[in-house]
Amino acid sequence: MNENEYFVTLVSRDPLVFRIFWFAQDLQEIKLVSDLAEHEPAVFLVSNGWSLVERHRQGKLLPMIERLKSDLKDRPHHRLIMLGNDGTEASIYKAAGAEGISSNHNIWLDNNVFKITDAEKIYDAVYNAQLIPYKRCELVEKIQNVCFISDTGIAEYVNRIWGKISHAHFANGPPLEKPRRMPPGQVNEIYNQSLVGLCLSGAEGAMFSAGEYLLCGLPIVSTHSIGGRDALFDDYNSILTPAEPQSIANAVAQFVKARRDPYRIRADALSRMWRLRLDLYKATVSIMGDDWNSRQRFHLERLFLDPTSTFPVALTSMEEIAALLRKDQMEK
């Protein structure tokens, strides 16, 4: 990540809504974007890309919240809304003195990209994950017919667990030989060639692939975790299992033997995503109050509740954001 690039998306120009995706950066972009917006009422929706419980345990959360509040203290018309991936994360934000809402980042996945196709099933299970320790890739050891989607990894970790994953198919190519990056359409095709999606980390964020699996109609075998990836799970579309290779393999075999209806899985996921979007819309409008007029609220309602809307996670420079604001201001 370049020091002049940030994870910022301009969601709406009128009313002015930004989405910031919080990975490991220090969120300095919020102050920079606030300086650009200056006197115009604006909302900053901050999606969380890692377990907030872990951030809190590491002592990183409270100092961050205090600094962000200080950055915006002279602009009460700029509202900071921290989006937790589940109710626990929203409560942690509120306890830290921030405006916290439970709003999983997977509700904005592109359901036109991730969808059901008529591809022939090849793999019992697929795991879209970097080959790094917290993804616990070695837990696929007992799944005989498994595919990895992974274009990055740590060589030392791969070498250490190789005996437990060498039987897998690697869709991106050999993991230690500069595997190629796959565009989303190709990722979608591998999903559709698989019967089950895997989520095996013990802690991370909401995990994009967890939502992607469901949009492709795949049931999920997941270990217990913190970070909110289970926001779209239910008893029909997922099995939670201990982080033990044989237990995971048994759960996969259960889904392979008694297959779930992929269209029901996708439809249920889309329904939950829509309801969570509605919750976010209502909360955002309530927080902004009279700063927005009825036309602006109507525009945001159409945007948030359109099933085809997606908020991409993209690296953006301040120059690009400034250019967008200038362009739209001239067009108004």
pLDDT in tens, 139-174: 999 999 999 999 999 999 999 999 999 999 999 999
Strands 78-84 and 42-48: parallel
Cα 24 to Cα 222: distance, rounded to the nearest angstrom: 24
Residue ending a domain, among 229, 260, 291, is 260
Judgement on whether residues 215 and 284 belong to the same structural domain of the protein = no
Judgement on whether residues 242 and 327 belong to the same structural domain of the protein = no
Classify 303 as helix, strand or coil.
helix
The mean pLDDT of 213-234, rounded to a whole number, is 97
For residue 298, what is the domain's CATH number? Answer: 3.20.20
Percent of the chain with pLDDT over 90: 83
Percent of the chain with pLDDT over 70: 97
Cα 126 to Cα 171: distance, rounded to the nearest angstrom: 10
Judgement on whether residues 213 and 139 belong to the same structural domain of the protein = yes
Judgement on whether residues 200 and 256 belong to the same structural domain of the protein = yes
Cα 137 to Cα 157: distance, rounded to the nearest angstrom: 10
Number of domains in the chain: 2
Residue 171 lies in a domain: yes
Judgement on whether residues 195 and 303 belong to the same structural domain of the protein = no
Domain ranges, residue 231: 123-260
* Confidence category of residue 235, pLDDT binned at 50, 70, 90: very high
Judgement on whether residues 102 and 130 belong to the same structural domain of the protein = no
pLDDT of residue 3: 58
Say which residues have a Cβ less than 8 Å from residue 161's Cβ, sequence separation at least 6: 137, 138
Residue 156 lies in a domain: yes
* Confidence category of residue 314, pLDDT binned at 50, 70, 90: confident
Cα 115 to Cα 177: distance, rounded to the nearest angstrom: 30
Q: Calculate the average pLDDT of the chain.
A: 93
Query: C-alpha angle 171/180/173, rounded to 5°?
Result: 40
Distance, C-alpha 250 to centroid of its chain: 27
Residue 149 lies in a domain: yes
Say which residues have a Cβ less than 8 Å from residue 270's Cβ, sequence separation at least 6: 111, 215, 307
- Residue with tokens 């029901």, as numbered in its chain: 264
pLDDT of residue 328: 53
Residue 28 lies in a domain: yes
Judgement on whether residues 171 and 68 belong to the same structural domain of the protein = no
Strands 194-199 and 123-128: parallel
For residue 161, what is the domain's CATH number? Answer: 3.40.50.2000
pLDDT of residue 322: 85
Judgement on whether residues 56 and 131 belong to the same structural domain of the protein = no
pLDDT for 2 beyond 70: no
Residue ending a domain, among 236, 260, 284, is 260
Judgement on whether residues 253 and 139 belong to the same structural domain of the protein = yes
Distance, C-alpha 191 to centroid of its chain: 17
Judgement on whether residues 216 and 167 belong to the same structural domain of the protein = yes
Classify 315 as helix, strand or coil.
strand
Per DSSP, 128 falls in state E
Residue 70 lies in a domain: yes
- Residue with tokens 């989607």, as numbered in its chain: 149
pLDDT for 137 beyond 50: yes
Judgement on whether residues 73 and 160 belong to the same structural domain of the protein = no
Cα 126 to Cα 174: distance, rounded to the nearest angstrom: 16
pLDDT in tens, 57-90: 999 899 999 999 999 999 999 999 999 999 999 9
Residue 268 lies in a domain: no
Q: What is the pTM of this model?
A: 0.94
Residue 93 lies in a domain: yes
Cα 328 to Cα 299: distance, rounded to the nearest angstrom: 15
pLDDT for 332 beyond 60: no
Query: C-alpha angle 322/325/328, rounded to 5°?
Result: 145
Strands 123-128 and 100-102: unpaired
Write the single-letter amino acid at 280: L
Residue 245 lies in a domain: yes
Cα 116 to Cα 189: distance, rounded to the nearest angstrom: 9
Judgement on whether residues 134 and 234 belong to the same structural domain of the protein = yes
Distance, C-alpha 259 to centroid of its chain: 26
Residue ending a domain, among 260, 283, 311, is 260
- Side-chain half-sphere exposure of 173, counting CA atoms within 13 A: 9
pLDDT for 216 beyond 60: yes
